[in-house]
Structure 1
């Protein structure tokens, strides 16, 4: 597959922006005008052979915790601080996992991605890795945090890759005004998951045995600035934690985001498929954007690795049904299957019939869906009906 290279103007603009930001950071740091640095740990992932440590080094903007934000103005200020990040490029970070130690350097956007070999004897499940900032030196001492890492072991029967917006969380990303409101002026406490999604994803994680520890990954076009917001949302609604693979908004080496479609999802999914080979996967998305098209590409590129594609029916333009039917046929021809569903229970019944989850979990998903529906206002429930 050929990749479109950014034009010379984009590359030049990126270099100018990167140089000016780096110079600004160094000057402010030297004059002691910069805020103290902060390490924001992300959920990493991997196997007992190789695991990815992920984090970002930023100037600490002191975003107030959720329980101290009571008003729309407070939410708006917190959102502004999340988006107006000041990244620290070329920061040196020490990583400690058990008796092993490594060092890594952040890129021009402050991101740290470091592949490491886990200590001997590491088992499947979640582990904590210590991160320490070595440079730049902070007046408050070297910041230290723990980064969670999900290790997949031989117990895993399959992996799950899920979109977030309008697949897990009710977002209505196809509506520009509602999308803006969701991204900038709401808290994770007020956003709603789709009914029964917590029980369904828990069942997928447990697999056919109830103890499979199947890894779940969340891939989204949302910006990395929303990482903490989304991670807190998953925990609040008891949706299984998993690595979040988001998108860097703004000018980059490859162009400007959020423009240019959702092709970045393909790169992230390919990375997961390669890292966990030969583990099979389920792919879950929605009908409102390009999930079905991307998943068709993955099915073709990784023959025999995708057990099923689930596409949730949400609002979409006229004619989308015909496009989805054609994509489903292509996926069947490639040796997999695609199912469009109106609710989580339908997907759970199909997964149970295929032996991917235990049959008794279908009743649990149905019960959770009913509880979630009853907790909605009548207008909320009506808004969630498929169109």
Structure 2
């Protein structure tokens, strides 16, 4: 809080510390798509035994960010691959480059490749570089993957209350509940592990996680997924927009844009889409399936207890014949369908 007051008062000039958060992302043997953010903040610490006051403090810190714009970031990959980029006004950076080296040779058994990030931006005499280098990893799916899975997070694997009145339950769950205390929907982790392993039991099938949550909640959601034994996968969130944000809004919804990008990155791979019936997943997923009718194997929509939304979703999926769409009440129902269609 003191740091924020000093900044607003115009006395905050020097950068105190450098923190680079590298988001779990994805690519191919010759294509990078690596995102991250550079902040003048302490690393977020989410502890399992935190009381409500510590949880509120941690939540506040996730949004009380001090962005470092126009900072040069150098990326180092195995095989002597090096490239650079700059952060934007909000501290975000993106490496989206074609690479001549075959990066898949350096990935682990499940396709994850580690890389190093070096901060080359402005520093003061007392600036602390919290790590040097910072590290991250991105996914290169195995060439023998049977299919990929693109899944929503909110009310699909994590109960958020996104359809609740004035989204009050969503606010309580996201802002006032410790990540360790969040309860995944029953059987979801088991279902995703089965999809990850596919028919032959080899963990080759990539899982991509989508959410309309802001990047500020990245560490929170990553911890939830890891703590509850979901398969490791890229996490794709979106920029936090305030009422005063004057930037141009994207033409396509965030989820639609990210799904399209994944499909274009892996043109030979088919996909299963998983979402819920609470918001816009049904309309987005069926539109994607209509655009790529040969590549979407199935759509699973977890039913939410909201009559108006359910009626709207029914009107969309009942007459949709391009791709099988299953409204499921439980993970076991989805598992049974996946077995029947030999996805697992």
Task: Tell whether the structures are fold-level matches, with TM greater than 0.5.
Answer: yes
In the superposition, relative to structure 1, how do residues 55 and 62 fare at CA in structure 2: closer, same or farther (>3 Å)?
closer
Deviations 1:339-384 (A, max 9, x none): 0000001101111111111xxxxxxxxxxxxxxxxxxxxxxxxxxx
Q: Residues 312, 149 of structure 1: CA spacing in aligned structure 2 closer, same or farther, 3 A cutoff?
A: same
Root-mean-square deviation (CA), in Å? 2.3
After TM superposition, the score normalised by the length of structure 1 is 0.78
Q: Distance in 1 between matches of 2:119 and 2:225?
A: 28
1:287 matched to 2:253? The reply is: no
2:116 to 127, 130, 133: 130
The 10-residue stretch of structure 1 (105-114 or 161-170) with the greater mean CA deviation from structure 2: 105-114
TM-score by length of 2: 0.88
Distance 1:287 1:192, change over 3 A: same
Number of the residue aligned with 1:341:
328
Measure, in 1, the Cα distance between the counterparts of 2:204 and 2:301: 23
**Matching residue of 1:373:** none
Q: 2:86 is matched with which residue: 105, 119, 131?
A: 105
C-alpha distance 43-86 of structure 1, shift in aligned 2 (>3 A): same
- Structure 1 CA distance for aligned equivalents of residues 55 and 37 of structure 2: 23
Deviations 1:304-359 (A, max 9, x none): 110110000112233x4443333224431xx21100000001101111111111xx
- Structure 1 runs (4+) greater than 4 angstroms displaced: none
In structure 2, what is the equivalent of residue 10 of structure 1?
none
Tell me which residue corresponds to 2:230: 239
2:33 to 52, 74, 82: 52
Tell me how far apart the structure 2 counterparts of residues 51 and 165 of structure 1 sit (CA, whole Å): 27
Higher-helix-fraction structure? 1
Q: Is 1:140 matched with 2:128? A: yes
From the superposition, tell whether residues 151 and 143 of structure 1 become closer, same or farther in structure 2 (CA, over 3 Å). Answer: same
1:94 equivalent to 2:55? Answer no
Unaligned runs of 5+ in 2: 1-6
Does 290-299 or 211-220 show the bigger shift? Answer: 211-220
Is the contact between residue 19 and residue 43 of structure 2 (CA under 8 Å) also seen in structure 1? no
Of residues 34, 38, 54 in structure 2, which corresponds to 1:74? 54
Equivalent pairs, count: 324
Structure 2 contact 303–310 (Cα < 8 Å) conserved: no
Cα drift, residue 174 of structure 1: 1.3
Pick from 127, 138, 144 the counterpart of residue 155 of structure 1.
144
Instruction: Tell whether the 8 Å contact from 1:53 to 1:114 is kept in structure 2 after alignment.
Output: yes
Q: Which residue of 1 aligns with 2:211?
A: 220
Distance of 2:319 and 2:283 partners within structure 1:
10
Per mean C-alpha deviation after superposition, the further-off stretch among 341-350 and 116-125 is 116-125
Query: Given that residues 296 and 330 in structure 1 are in contact (C-alpha distance below 8 angstroms), is that contact kept between their aligned partners in structure 2?
Result: no
Q: 1:118 to 1:41 in 2, by over 3 A?
A: farther
Moved more, 135-144 or 44-53: 135-144
Distance in 1 (alpha carbons) for counterparts of 2:22 and 2:186: 29
Partner of 1:170 in structure 2?
159
- For 1:183 and 1:322, the matched residues in 2 are separated by 27
1:51 Cα offset (Å): 2.4
Decide which of 159, 183, 195 is 1:192's aligned counterpart: 183
Aligned to 2:198: 207
Matched, 1:267 2:254: no
Query: What SS does the aligned partner of 1:303 have?
Result: coil
Residue 354 of structure 1 pairs with residue 324 of structure 2: no
What is the CA–CA distance in structure 2 between the aligned matches of 1:143 and 1:89, rounded to whole Å?
A: 19
Give the direction of change, closer, same or farther, for the CA distance of 1:216–1:83 in structure 2 (3 Å limit): same
Looking at structure 2, the residues matched to 38 and 344 of structure 1 have their Cα atoms a distance apart, in angstroms, of: 38
Equivalent pair of 1:96/1:102 in contact (CA under 8 Å): yes
Q: Deviations over 1:254-308 (max 9, x none)?
A: 249xxx9x92211111111111112111000011111101101101111211011
Is the CA contact 1:39–1:144 (under 8 Å) kept in the aligned structure 2? no
The offset of 1:146, in angstroms, is 0.9
